[in-house]
């Protein structure tokens, strides 16, 4: 981490965003899955500069936090050209989808369909922050057929 603190990092990333985005490679869904699955996506939201860090389990769960609020039911899935996250039970679910661009180690997440930059992140191998340790178990309903009997489904 930059010794000058997170504010300096955010400022540097924000200033470079236009330049980096122009040189970035847009990833398709399969490339996003390969980059995120089994790894931690950590960064800051544009605008608020609040942090996020989520370990992307191969079974579709995302443990970690958004804006320092721990995930209790987050799920992720890729589409042909984006990554989507959903939170909460089906009747009150919130879904967010992003296209992903990569420039060296920087990943730019753009809200879909607006194309606005939602955040910037890096991908860390594995679960270095141990986000999955002590996290309650849940199953993502997109993978219900593989959920063990008696497993609690995502809830808020």
23-33 per-position pLDDT tens digit: 789 999 999 99
For the residues 124-150, what does the mean pLDDT come to?
A: 73
d(CA 111, CA 91): 23
pLDDT for the residue numbered 153: 45
50-98 per-position pLDDT tens digit: 999 999 999 999 999 988 888 889 999 999 999 999 988 778 888 999 9
pLDDT for the residue numbered 46: 93
pLDDT for the residue numbered 152: 46
Q: Could you give the percent of the chain with pLDDT greater than 90?
A: 56
CATH for the stretch 6-146? 2.40.128
pTM greater than the 0.85 cutoff: no
d(CA 76, CA 105): 21
Instruction: Tell me if 80 sits within 8 A of 28, measured CB to CB.
Output: yes
Which two three-digit tokens encode residue 151?
């497993």
d(CA 51, CA 53): 7
Which two three-digit tokens encode residue 93?
């679910």
pLDDT of 131 higher than 60: yes
């Amino acid at each position: 981490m930059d010794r000058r603190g997170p504010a300096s990092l955010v400022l540097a990333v924000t200033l470079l965003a236009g330049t980096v985005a122009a040189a970035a490679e847009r990833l398709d869904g399969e490339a996003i899955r390969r980059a995120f699955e089994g790894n931690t996506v950590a960064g800051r939201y544009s605008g608020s500069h609040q942090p996020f860090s989520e370990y992307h389990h191969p079974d579709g769960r995302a443990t970690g936090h958004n804006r320092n609020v721990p995930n209790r039911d987050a799920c992720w899935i890729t589409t042909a050209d984006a990554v989507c996250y959903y939170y909460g039970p089906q009747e009150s679910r919130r879904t967010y989808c992003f296209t992903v661009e990569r420039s060296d180690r920087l990943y730019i997440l753009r809200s879909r369909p607006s194309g606005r930059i939602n955040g910037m992140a890096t991908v860390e191998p594995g679960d270095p922050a141990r986000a999955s340790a002590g996290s309650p178990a849940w199953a993502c309903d997109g993978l219900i057929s593989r959920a063990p009997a008696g497993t609690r489904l995502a809830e808020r």
